[in-house]
Amino acid sequence: MDLFDTPGTLVPIPIMDGELALLPQLALPLSNAAILARLLAETPWRAESVVVYGKRHLQPRLTAWYGDASYTYSGLRLEPLPWTALLLELRAAVEAACGHRFNSVLLNRYRNERDSMGMHSDDEAELGDDPVIASLSYGTARTFVLRHKNNKQTVRLPLEDGSLLLMSGQLQKHWLHGINKSTRSLGERVNCTFRYIV
């Protein structure tokens, strides 16, 4: 059976030590292009700086944090912006597709091929044990790289325009993930990671 035979259903991707599932296209009454345009226009995008190994760096992407609670990572405390109508609509569709509730969302904007996200796990204490994280992507597809912390097994998944990736189980405990820079010229991508802050 092809992935596209089951619209509306998350398809499990079998990996060890964690759960991963992909929905190639989240159904919404708006087009992917319209959602991307609104996310780009309506978000107060910021270039945040973070401290890595004692040195302050600008993150190689733009971000915005929405939701009901503040969030701290890499020494950076993010105060939440209030939910917008669009983000509430996206959240409702994501919750319906996943069967999980989310109370916050981190938006990441990759402006071009030079923007990236280093390998990390979403394992902050405020996400609780075995967090469920839903990652919704719009715009240019980028390759999502997962690397097992012990055996270094690597999984590469292209995250296409309109796709929804669900990470759960022990995935954050055992795997790192990130988005590499590319040598090919690439257009804008916005990724929304829905989370539940305990």
Ligand X SMILES: O=C(O)CCC(=O)C(=O)O
Return residues touching ligand X (CB under 6 A).
Answer: 106, 108, 117, 122, 135, 144, 159, 177, 179, 191, 193
- From the list ligand X, Mn ion, none, partner contacted by residue 159 (C-beta under 5 to 8 A by kind): ligand X
- Give residues with Cβ within 8 angstroms of 24, minimum separation 6: 3, 4, 11, 160, 162, 163
Helices H, strands E: what count in the chain? 3, 15
The residue type found at 138 is: Y
Shortest distance (Å) from residue 42 CB to ligand X = 19
- Which of 104/108 has CB closer to ligand X? 108
191 binds, among Mn ion, ligand X, none (CB under 5 to 8 A by kind): ligand X
d(CA 33, CA 24) in angstroms, rounded, equals: 15
Among 19, 122, 161, 188, binds Mn ion (CB under 5 A): 122
Q: Rounded to whole angstroms, how far apart are CA atoms 56 and 41?
A: 28
| Least spacing, CB of residue 187 vs Mn ion, in Å | 22
126 interacts with Mn ion by CB under 5 A: no
124 binds Mn ion (CB under 5 A): no
- CA 135 from centroid of its chain's CA atoms: 4
Beta carbon of residue 122, minimum distance to Mn ion (angstroms, whole number): 4
First to last CA, the chain: 38
CB of 2 to Mn ion, least distance (A): 28
